[in-house]
Amino acid sequence: MLIRTRIAPSPTGFMHIGTLRTALTNYLFSKKRKGRFIIRLEDTDRTRLVPESEQDIIRSLKWARLTWDEGIDFNQEQKIIEKGSHGPYVQSKRLKIYNKYARELLKKDHAYYCFCTKKCLEKMKNEQQKLKQPPRYDKRCANLPQSVIREKLKSKQSFTIRLKIPAQGTTRWQDLVRGPISIENKLIDDQVLMKSDGFPTYHFAVVIDDHLMAITHVLRGEEWLSSTPKHLLLYQAFGWRPPKFGHLPQLLNVNGKKLSKRDGDVAVRDFIKKGYLPHALINFIALLGWNPKTTQEIFSLKELIKQFDLKKINKAGAKFDYNRLNWFNARYIKSLKTKELLKLSQPFIKNLKLPAKKIEKILFIQKERLSRLKDITKDIPFLIEKQISYPKELLAWKNQSNEQIQENLQKARIIISSIDIKNFSLDNIQNKLLKAGGEKRGELLWPLRVALSGQKQSPSPFECAWVLGKKQTLKRIEQAIISLK
């Protein structure tokens, strides 16, 4: 069987990290089994459309290197294009199809016209609430005589079409993640399939499309679990074979509550903006709620495909720990060549007015300590700005006297001066200073480091000197000595 999975985002906002996780799961599952991965746009809820969100979804998937075989894309002019033989892949272009299938259900008596107004439904809900009953459509339109229906349609009364849920029986399925699930049909509401604006509801369109697009496995977030019985009953009403369903555990914050904006970034674009690397974010989210059952933590996309197994997905919620993500990102940043880092860092350094060589040096030293590209220059303004100021007391290593500090700074000045400008390499600077510092290197290196950075904590004095260059380094040592006189 050819495996076909899909991601079916609604363009109702910027792509959520949970949607990226769902996309990744579908991608890994289909790639592992040499299947196809499809992207379909579910834009039938016209009241919740957010402009630009389609572009954001596609951009995010591309950024994450999750390629798809069929579905929508954007061309150079930012126009939607489609590839694949099961299109259109945008639901608003499929209205005729939904209409046709709604009619088929009406004919088979698996659906009915509902002429209840918003006001009447509101009243029904309030009454049920008063009686402490669950809010549910009371089926009052389910058995209207044909003549009444004809009359109402003729007089152009607004209507919806509802699914006739069987009064008896139980709907069951074997969830690929959660195991056997069952629900009594009498607890399921007569779902609206077609709205009064002529658009289908999510529940209707998703079933028609998954069927017509030959989707074999629906892997989606747990929030859709309660929708699945309705979908299965629709498959049953049509006499179609349903796909297999698997519901992925919710993303939680570190306290075990549903992950929300209050916990930090949740839109993929925010992670991009902060300088997370696609491979790091993918590696991190792949392991959320999934146990590879080895001690290995760093996985390339190829390795993830190889290792992926739905059976390894935990049922319990998946904790989204931003610190762990930072750890992954730091690991990936560290493994980059400086040239690659330079390329990826462009958005974060484009306003820096520094010579290219100096930028490369900054990247070289920051690579070791960075967890997000956005922070490239965060703790090192002293390497970028021409002037620095600091309290001179900071120059003292432990109880060093003023004279001792001056002596050591003079010593540093002589050493730095002695290094030929052509040999002003990090190694050379480090070797010379360490040799001169000997056993008591703190006495030499601390005042030097503060003279160059003006900070209690900073990269090493060797790194600072190397980035600043010989001239600027000597100037700052000079200034420190003067300040002590």
Please report how close the Cβ of residue 89 comes to ligand GLU at its closest, in angstroms: 13
Among 206, 268, 341, 467, contact with ligand GLU (rule: CB under 6 A)? 206
Say how far apart CA 278 and CA 109 lie, in whole Å. Answer: 50
Distance of closest approach, residue 350 Cβ to ligand GLU, in angstroms:
34
Q: Which of 119, 261, 398, 422 is catalytic?
A: 261
- Per DSSP, the three-state class of 221 is strand
Specify the 3-state DSSP secondary structure of 5. strand
Dihedrals phi, psi of 168, to nearest 5 degrees: -115, 175
Closer to ligand GLU by CB, 209 or 443: give it. Answer: 209
Q: How far is the CB of 465 from ligand GLU (least distance, A)?
A: 54
Distance CA 102, CA 118 (A): 21
Q: Give the Cα separation of 220 and 222 in Å (integer).
A: 7
The residue from 74, 224, 240, 390 that contacts ligand GLU (CB under 6 A) is: 224
CB proximity list for 414: less than 8 A, separation 6 or greater: none
Among the listed residues 4, 36, 220, 411, the single contact to ligand GLU using CB under 6 A:
220
Q: How far is the CB of 370 from ligand GLU (least distance, A)?
A: 34
Establish if 390 lies at the interface with ligand GLU (CB under 6 A): no
Query: Considering only residues 3, 4, 10, 230, which one is a binding residue for ligand GLU as defined by CB under 6 A?
Result: 10
Task: Identify the DSSP state of 90.
Answer: B
| 196 backbone dihedrals φ, ψ, rounded to 5° | -70, -15
Residues 17-46 that bind ligand GLU (CB under 6 A): 42
Q: How far is the CB of 218 from ligand GLU (least distance, A)?
A: 6
Cα separations (Å) of 23 from 8, 346, 369, 450? 9, 27, 31, 49
Going from the C-alpha of 458 to that of each of 103, 266, 358, the distances in angstroms are: 71, 31, 17
**Contact pick of 9, 71, 317, 447 for ligand GLU (by CB under 6 A):** 9
Which residues contact residue 415 at a Cβ distance below 8 angstroms, ignoring those fewer than 6 apart? Answer: 432, 433, 436
Q: Which stretch binds ligand GLU (CB under 6 A): 3-11, 111-119, 281-289, 306-314?
A: 3-11
Residue 246: CB minimum distance to ligand GLU, A: 11
Compute the least distance from the CB of residue 347 to ligand GLU, in Å.
29
**CA-closest candidate to residue 298, choices 283, 276, 277, 320:** 283
Token reading at 95: 């209205």
Question: Of residues 101-120, which lie at the interface with ligand GLU (CB under 6 A)?
Answer: none
Interacting residue with ligand GLU among 3, 4, 5, 8 (CB under 6 A)? 8
The piece of 5-13, 317-325, 357-365, 449-457 that touches ligand GLU (CB under 6 A) is 5-13
**Catalytic (active site) residue 261:** yes
Examine residue 266 and tell whether it contacts ligand GLU (CB under 6 A): no
Choice between 221 and 292, CB closer to ligand GLU: 221
Tell me how many residues contact ligand GLU (CB under 6 A): 8
Residues 402, 462, 420, 471, Cα dihedral to 10°: -60
Of 9 and 289, which has the nearer Cβ to ligand GLU? Answer: 9
Instruction: Quote the CA–CA distance of 179 and 245 in Å, as a whole number.
Output: 10
Contacting positions for ligand GLU (CB under 6 A): 8-10, 42, 202, 206, 220, 224
The residues that are catalytic are 261
